[in-house]
């Protein structure tokens, strides 16, 4: 490992983590599915982006009914992706390039093919009988309560072996583990220790607020009329009609997160980032990362939804600062579960200019960053015809919700058949609109989103205020977003024009325009003019 990596134990604080969806990154063996060897082959490209590490979505043994988020062996690689030796080779190559490696951990539920569940469902007296959440039917045979699955329908499925229902917050094939059982908690911590001992640098924790449930199985209340619905689920999903106060985000979770942090502290330099889907996401983020004894970082769906106006972004920042205390956020505008930001936020905007200024805003926020594969290329959401839909979520809620396949299509490497991703037809179709945006097409274009990403991340790394500085919002008018970042004696004013017209503002403080970030602006005394889709960074006078 690079000695600099060994010395930088807090690399994650302000770090930029590149998310890789293994099925769709690079196919090395010609079966139409991406794999670990393909990722290893492309790590030089990832390092060239100036990111600090990578996060790999699940590659563990799985029946793949939810594409790896249904794990049947927590300690091995699914043959679809390669072998454990392939993972070790990936880890070694990444570390040699100075890249940290984080991996997904899906511990709230397993596949129904996991040996634990096969034993648990056999009868009510076996050693793992209470490793999952089982409950008797109501006297009329209906489910124990009104809890719903995110993927549609009740969160309960009846099992004829035990004549009981089991809980599943997602697919019926993804039974929820019973974290009230200390043996379950220990087993999952031991599984994570296995990967830490192999040398991984941290974990992205799937559904980190879903580990515990109310053992009394109390019904969830409805969302009051006129109140906002749950973030992270489409409006067409009845899951959003409940307040999720009894099935998720239980207080017992905090003690488990402390146990997890104690494990991570045995491996200096490792980190955790938790995914939080909750009725009150920023409050939960603060709760889960405050105090230095739970998660290192967490992210919510506040920037993974549709609103993107300066007013909305100011409101998110203000709310986080009001609630956060010493919490540390990890911001993302796209991932493998939501419509790509170039479409979700940039619909109707300039398709080449808008993604660049959106990335500039993201890279300038206080916190760490997750950058999803293809965002550096400005990829729009792919159109996947119904007959090619793979995502079970999309099949259930079609056509109001088309699922998550549109953000999971293959990475376009070249302007060639299958985008240079594979030699054969891939598991999801390559989007034709992605080919002109392929890595090959952008590599030598200084005005491309790819060039902007590299420039912006180099600029960020050169300014401590952008990596780990404090943030304070400033008034630069309703149509612009502005804030000051400050650290180590450096004070930077960051201003963003996310719209399609030239805007001007009078600066609250005098400063000097900085260069080296790739954007243009004009400064006349304290009057700043920003053309459409531009950003300005000013070094403020003390």
504: nearest Cα among 538, 537, 480, 528: 528
Q: Is the dihedral of CA 114, 21, 8, 83 positive or negative?
A: positive
C-alpha distances in Å from residue 42, one per residue of 242, 413, 445: 43, 10, 20
Number of other residues whose CB lies within 10 A of the CB of residue 319: 14
Cα–Cα dist 385/394, whole Å: 11
Which H or E run contains 134? strand 134-135
Q: At what angle do helices 84-96 and 182-198 cross, to 10 degrees?
A: 60
Largest CA distance in the chain: 78
Two structure tokens written together for 470? 């404090």
DSSP string for residues in 215-246 = TT-PPPPBPPTTS---TTS-TTSGGGGB--SS
Cα–Cα dist 404/95, whole Å: 31
Two structure tokens written together for 346? 């940039």
Cα–Cα dist 392/37, whole Å: 27
Two structure tokens written together for 344? 């979700």
**Residue positions annotated with a catalytic role:** 206, 266
Number of other residues whose CB lies within 10 A of the CB of residue 432: 11
Two structure tokens written together for 375? 């965002």
Pairing of strands 156-159, 503-506: unpaired
C-alpha distances in Å from residue 29, one per residue of 32, 82, 123, 256, 403: 8, 10, 43, 40, 28
Q: What are the two backbone dihedrals, phi and then psi, of residue 404, each rounded to the nearest 5 degrees?
A: -110, 5
Q: What are the two backbone dihedrals, phi and then psi, of residue 5, each rounded to the nearest 5 degrees?
A: -65, -40
Burial of 219 (0-12, 13-18, 19+ CB in 10 A): middle
Two structure tokens written together for 132? 């999952």
């Amino acid at each position: 490992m690079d000695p600099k990596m060994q010395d930088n134990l807090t690399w994650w604080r302000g770090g930029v983590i590149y998310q890789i969806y293994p099925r769709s990154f690079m196919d090395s063996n010609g079966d139409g599915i991406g794999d670990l060897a393909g990722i290893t082959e492309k790590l030089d490209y990832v390092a060239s982006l100036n990111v600090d590490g990578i996060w790999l979505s699940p590659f563990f043994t799985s029946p793949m009914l939810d594409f790896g988020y249904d794990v049947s062996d927590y300690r091995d690689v699914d043959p679809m992706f390669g072998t454990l030796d392939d993972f070790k080779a990936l880890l070694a190559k990444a570390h040699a390039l100075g890249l940290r490696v984080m991996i997904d951990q899906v511990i709230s539920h397993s596949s129904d093919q996991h040996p634990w569940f096969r034993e648990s469902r056999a009868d009510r007296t076996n050693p793992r009988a209470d490793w999952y959440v089982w409950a008797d039917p109501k006297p009329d045979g209906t489910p124990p309560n009104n809890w719903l699955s995110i993927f549609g329908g009740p969160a309960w499925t009846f099992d004829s072996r035990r004549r009981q229902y089991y809980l599943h917050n997602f697919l019926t094939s993804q039974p929820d583990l019973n974290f009230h059982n200390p043996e379950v908690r220990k087993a999952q911590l031991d599984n994570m220790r296995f990967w830490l001992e192999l040398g991984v640098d941290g974990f992205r924790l799937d559904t980190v607020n879903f580990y515990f449930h109310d053992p009394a199985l109390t019904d969830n209340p409805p969302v009051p009329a006129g109140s906002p619905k749950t973030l992270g689920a489409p409006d067409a999903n009845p899951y959003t009609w409940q307040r999720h106060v009894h099935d998720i985000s239980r207080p017992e979770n905090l003690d488990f997160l402390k146990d997890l942090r104690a494990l991570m502290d045995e491996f200096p330099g490792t980190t955790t980032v938790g995914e939080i889907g909750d009725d009150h996401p920023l409050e939960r983020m603060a709760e889960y990362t405050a105090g230095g004894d739970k998660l290192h970082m967490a992210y919510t769906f506040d920037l993974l939804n549709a609103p993107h106006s300066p007013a909305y972004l100011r409101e998110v920042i203000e709310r986080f600062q009001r609630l956060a205390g010493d919490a540390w956020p990890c911001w993302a505008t796209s991932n493998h579960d939501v419509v790509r930001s170039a479409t979700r936020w940039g619909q109707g905007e300039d398709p080449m200019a808008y993604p660049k200024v959106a990335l500039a805003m993201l890279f300038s926020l206080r916190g760490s960053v997750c950058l999803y594969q293809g965002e550096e290329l400005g990829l729009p959401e792919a159109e996947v015809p119904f007959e090619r839909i793979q995502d079970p979520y999309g099949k259930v809620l079609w056509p109001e919700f088309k699922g998550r396949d549109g953000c999971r299509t293959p990475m376009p490497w070249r302007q060639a058949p299958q985008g240079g991703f594979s030699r054969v037809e891939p598991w999801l179709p390559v989007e034709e609109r992605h080919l002109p945006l392929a890595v090959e097409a952008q590599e030598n274009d200084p005005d491309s989103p790819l060039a902007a990403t590299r420039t912006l991340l180099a600029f960020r790394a050169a300014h401590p205020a952008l990596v780990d500085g404090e943030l304070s919002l400033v008034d630069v008018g309703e149509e612009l977003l502005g804030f000051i970042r400050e650290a180590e004696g450096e004070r930077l004013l960051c201003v963003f024009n996310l719209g399609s017209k030239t805007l001007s503002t009078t600066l609250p403080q005098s400063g000097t325009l900085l260069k080296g970030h790739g954007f243009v602006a004009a400064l006349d005394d304290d009057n700043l003019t920003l053309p459409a889709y531009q950003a300005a960074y000013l070094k403020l006078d003390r």
